[in-house]
Structures are given as structure tokens and as C-alpha cells.
Structure 1
Amino acid sequence: MSDVIIGSVLSALSTGLGALIILFMSDSVTHRWRDILLAFTAGIMMAASTMGLIPEALNNGGFLQLTIGIFLGVLTLTLLEKNIPHIDLQHSKKGIEFDEKAMLIISAITLHNIPEGLSVGVSYASSVEDTGNLIAFAIGLQNAPEGFLVALFLVNQKINKFKAFIIATLTGAIEIVTGLLGFYLTAYVDFLVPYGLSFAAGAMLFIVYKELIPESHGDGNERTATYSFIIGLLFMVLLIDIF
């Protein structure tokens, strides 16, 4: 129980860790570095899904449970994307621009963190030791650039840097609640474990293919982003192998 609390908290607070950078910046981040960071986290999440969550879901259930869980994860993210205002980054060499209002962006990011928190929680319910830690680490790495982008948007809206840092950090707090929810649902109802793991995999794969990879390939940095993706994937594979 203590592990899932610690993992959920650290994963959620990674949003604030990314946002912390904004306090030391005087200008916006270049698209090149933003794309490199996004592609790296995409590689991390890809490896965590395909080499961590999916094999574990198969071990706890079977292909049918895996398929159902993955599609439920994808469907959940699809519904969230269609019905919740989303943070769209306009590809431009001049910098990062946002169309939505500040409150809509904050609400969207907060709600999009729900399945990420569930991913951490159900991973800690797995029978394999350290699966939860690996997934919490992967989600945390994904949360860091997300927190930075939210804080950057708020600063561009003339909000005080410290306030932007606090708000961006709070957007990840919901992952603590949903992490505990995911853990309790799967830890005490055994047959839900493979569904929960594959749901988490589906949610993460959706984020990788629909969000992170396209966002990292829209500004002429495709080759660099591809290298970064591969490095991120190998980095996570190394962690899986070590643990």
C-alpha cells in the first residue's frame, strides 16, 4: 500500500518538477528541444507499455483480456479527447502558441491525467515486483514536459511565474487519487488485474501515437526526434532489464 502511495505521489509531482524549469527561464523553449523531450518520453512510454504492461497482462490473463483492456484504454482516451478541450500546440518556428483559454487548458490537462494515474495504480496491483515502480517512472517522465508546457502557457498569458508553477503542479495531483482508485479496484478484485494492466497499456499507446510522436514531428526535427525516441526506448528497456 505504501508503495502505490509513494509511486503515485512521485509520478504526479513530476508535473511540478517539469514546471519548475519555468522559474529559471527568461524566454520560451525552442521547438527543437521541445520535440527532443517529447520524443524521448514517447520512447519511454512505448517500452513501458510493450515490454512491461502487455506481457504482464498476458501472464495474468490472456489475449482476450488484453484486447478488451487495450481497446477500453484507447476508447477512454478517445472520448476524453473529443469531449474535453485539448492543449494544441501550433507548429511554428517563432515559438509555442495556444488557442484555448487558460482555465480550459488547466481543466483539460487535469482530466487527461486521470488514465495516467490509473495506469500507475493498476501496475502496483501486479503480481510482478517493481512493475509499478517502472510504470510510475515512465508516467513521471511523461508528466515532466507536460507540466513545463502548461507552466509555459500560463506565463505566456502574463501569469506570475510562481503562480504558473503552482497551478501546473496541481494539475498532476489528480493522479494520486486515480492511482489509489486503480490499485484498490485491481488489488481486491483479482480478475480485473489483466484488464487494468492492458487498459493502462492502451492509454499509454494512445498518448504515444496520437500526441507525443505527432507533436515531436511537426517542426522539421523529425530525424532528431526519431533518434531521441529510440534512446528513450532503449533507456526504459535498460531499466526493465536491471529491475
Structure 2
Amino acid sequence: MLDIMKDTSPVMQAFIGTLFTWGMTALGASLVFFVRGANQKFLDSMLAFAGGVMIAASYWSLLAPAIDMSENSGVASWIPAVVGFLLGGVLLLGIDRILSKIDTDRYLYDIKDNKAKNRTALLVFSMTLHNIPEGLAVGVAFGALASTSTESTLASAMALALGIGIQNFPEGTAVSMPLHRDGMSKMKSFMFGQFSGMVEPIAAVIGALAVIWIQPILPYALSFAAGAMIFVVAKEIIPGSHEKGNVNLASMSLMIGFAVMMALDVALG
């Protein structure tokens, strides 16, 4: 595989690498097809599991890399993380207010509860937003090969794509399962789940083409996505998983989701 990729342009390498990450998101989202006759407790636990995945991903996949990238940027390494994180929360707050005033029936007609519709829209938006800087990061890693093309740097870029792809598996599940919980059909839940990863190949190509301009803003973009995800978890995911009274089950499921995502992120570096 390394030999095949070595003879390909960095932009195409980035595109191929993120096709894999998108495919893993779709694979995770496809688990919704195997849920048969799930009761409310299971569905609430899956919503909380999604919250745990999102919290862990916010730190290990987004904030921690953002801080590492900022160490040699000329500013304190915590500044991009704090600025991006807070801006992400502010954006989602604004989107939340806008969503409450518009009609989402065109796309979410199979979800009857208006509160659930709002939660669905915010969940899909935040997970999609989170995948954009990850795609950019892969694109930058492959784009850098244009100036320093060695087998070790190519292997590092491929390892990054592999790691993000494996992490994307539970993230795809974390989107599709809650959507099905709120009344969306399995097929539509899957489509929205895999769509959240579709932006990665697009972002990767942009990152590879504009590596010099994209690299300095990556810490802010990663932290921005983390802030958006934490806002959704705090405002919608945790309260939603408690709505039917399954508080203890939801709390433990959130911790399990966090532990699974933490283990993947740390193990895959």
C-alpha cells in the first residue's frame, strides 16, 4: 500500500486517505440497521453513549492536538484552544436560536417532537463540523509531502488517516443511533450519520492544496469544533438522555462512550 501511495500526488493521497475515514464513519452509522425492537432504555443509553464519545473526541481528537500544534506558533499554546473553543460554543448558541425559529419539517418530518428536531439538527451539524478540521489535518499531513517526501513522512500521514478512520467508527454510530431514537427511519438515520463524515475528503483536498495557509489556523479550527460539540452535549444530549427517567443508565452509558473513545484516541495516538 505504501508503494502504491508513493507514486500518487499528495492531493490524491489525501483524498484516498479520507475516503477511508468517511467509509469508517459510514460503517459505524450502519449499525443502526441491526437494532431491532430496541426499547426506550436502550435508545436513551445510546444517546448518552454518543455524548460520551463527543466529550472524549472534543479533548483527545481536537483540543489536545490544537494545543500541541500551537506550541511553536509564537503565542501561548492555550490561546488558540481557548479562543476557538469559546467561539465554537457561541456559534452553536446562535444556530440553536435560529433553528428554533425555522421550519425543519422538510428534512425532519419523521421526527414529531420539536425539541427532538432541534437536538437532531444540532447533533448532525456539530459532528459534521468536527470532521472538517480532521479532514484538513489529514490534507495538511499529505500536502506537506510535496516539500519533504520520504517514506517515513508518508507513513506518518497514512497512520494519521488510519487513526482518524478508526475513531470515526463510533462517531458514525453516535450520530445514527440518536437520530433513530428520536423517530427517524433507519435508512435516513444512516444517511445523516455517514454524511457527517462526507466532508472529510473535501476538507482534505483543500488542506493538501493550501497547506501553507491552512496549517496556522488548524489549532483554532480544531478547538472551534470541540466547543461546538461540548455545547451540544451540555444543552441537548445529556438532558435528552434523562427525559424518560433513565438517569443512572444514561450516566453510565455516557461514561462508557467516553471510555471507548478515550481508549481509541490514546491507543491510536
Q: TM > 0.5 between the two?
A: yes
Deviation at 1:7, TM superposition (A): 0.6
Matched position secondary structure for 1:213: helix
CA contact (8 A) 2:48 2:241 kept: yes
CA contact (8 A) 1:40 1:228 kept: yes
Structure 1 pair 239/212, CA: closer, same or farther in 2 (3 Å)?
same
Letter aligned with residue 60 of structure 2:
M
Letter aligned with residue 33 of structure 2:
L
CA contact (8 A) 2:84 2:222 kept: yes
CA contact (8 A) 1:39 1:228 kept: yes
Matched position secondary structure for 2:112: coil
The counterpart of 1:147, out of the listed 157, 176, 187, is 176
Letter aligned with residue 56 of structure 1:
P
Deviation at 1:198, TM superposition (A): 0.9
Q: Does the alignment pair 1:223 with 2:248? A: yes
Render the CA deviation track for 1:161-208: whole Å, top value 9, x for unaligned.
xxx433333224543442234334555221011112112211222232
Structure 1 pair 12/45, CA: closer, same or farther in 2 (3 Å)?
same
The structure with the largest helix share of the pair is: 2
CA contact (8 A) 2:32 2:176 kept: yes
The counterpart of 1:67, out of the listed 62, 75, 82, is 82
Q: Does the alignment pair 1:4 with 2:43? A: no
Q: Does the alignment pair 1:124 with 2:153? A: no
| Count of aligned residue pairs for this structure pair | 218
CA contact (8 A) 1:20 1:148 kept: no
Stretches of structure 2 that go unaligned for 5 or more consecutive residues are 1-13, 71-76, 105-110, 142-155
CA contact (8 A) 1:39 1:216 kept: yes
Stretches of structure 1 that go unaligned for 5 or more consecutive residues are 88-96, 155-163
Separation (CA, whole Å) in 2 of partners of 1:68 and 1:184: 26
Aligned to 1:20: 33
Separation (CA, whole Å) in 2 of partners of 1:145 and 1:237: 14
Aligned to 2:61: 52
Letter aligned with residue 78 of structure 1:
L
Mark the structure with the bigger radius of gyration. Answer: 2
Matched position secondary structure for 1:220: coil
Aligned to 2:261: 236
Render the CA deviation track for 1:121-168: whole Å, top value 9, x for unaligned.
2453576865655555555424325324444624xxxxxxxxx43333
CA contact (8 A) 1:186 1:193 kept: no
Structure 1 pair 110/227, CA: closer, same or farther in 2 (3 Å)?
closer
The counterpart of 1:79, out of the listed 67, 90, 94, is 94
Structure 1 pair 148/70, CA: closer, same or farther in 2 (3 Å)?
same
Identity %, equivalent residues? 22
Matched position secondary structure for 1:98: coil
Render the CA deviation track for 1:20-45: whole Å, top value 9, x for unaligned.
135xx3x4x32211222222222222
The TM-score, its normalising length taken from structure 1, stands at 0.71
Separation (CA, whole Å) in 1 of partners of 2:132 and 2:48: 23
Separation (CA, whole Å) in 1 of partners of 2:86 and 2:252: 29
Structure 1 pair 72/185, CA: closer, same or farther in 2 (3 Å)?
farther
Separation (CA, whole Å) in 1 of partners of 2:85 and 2:26: 23
Structure 1 pair 228/19, CA: closer, same or farther in 2 (3 Å)?
closer
Structure 1 pair 147/11, CA: closer, same or farther in 2 (3 Å)?
same
The TM-score, its normalising length taken from structure 2, stands at 0.65
Superposed CA RMSD in Å reads 3.4
Aligned to 1:168: 189
Separation (CA, whole Å) in 1 of partners of 2:18 and 2:233: 24
Letter aligned with residue 218 of structure 1:
E
Structure 1 pair 224/166, CA: closer, same or farther in 2 (3 Å)?
closer
